[in-house]
Amino acid sequence: MSKKPVLLVIAHGSRDPRHAATVHALVRRVRALRPDVRVETGFLDFNIPSVQGVLESLAAQGVRDVVALPLLLTRAFHAKADIPAVLRDAPPQLRIRQAEVLGPSPLLMAALERRLYEAGLTPADKSSTGVVLASAGSTDPEAIAVIAEIAREWRLTGWCAVRPAFASAGSPAGFPRTEDAVRELRELGCERVAVAPYVLAPGFLPDRIARGAAEADVLADVLGAAPEVARVLLERYADAGVPALVAVGA
How sure is the predictor about 80, in pLDDT bands with cuts at 50, 70 and 90? Answer: confident
pLDDT at 81: 84
**Range of lowest pLDDT (55-69, 73-87, 174-188):** 73-87
- State how beta strands 65-70 and 95-98 pair: parallel
Q: Which of 166, 147, 165 is nearest to 109 (CA)?
A: 147
pTM assigned to the model: 0.92
How many CB atoms within 10 Å of residue 188? Answer: 12
pLDDT in tens, 181-195: 999 999 999 999 999
Q: Give the model confidence (pLDDT) of 95-122 as tens digits.
A: 999 999 999 999 999 999 999 999 999 9
**Largest Cα–Cα distance of the chain, in whole Å?**
62
**Which H helix or E strand runs over 208?**
helix 204-212
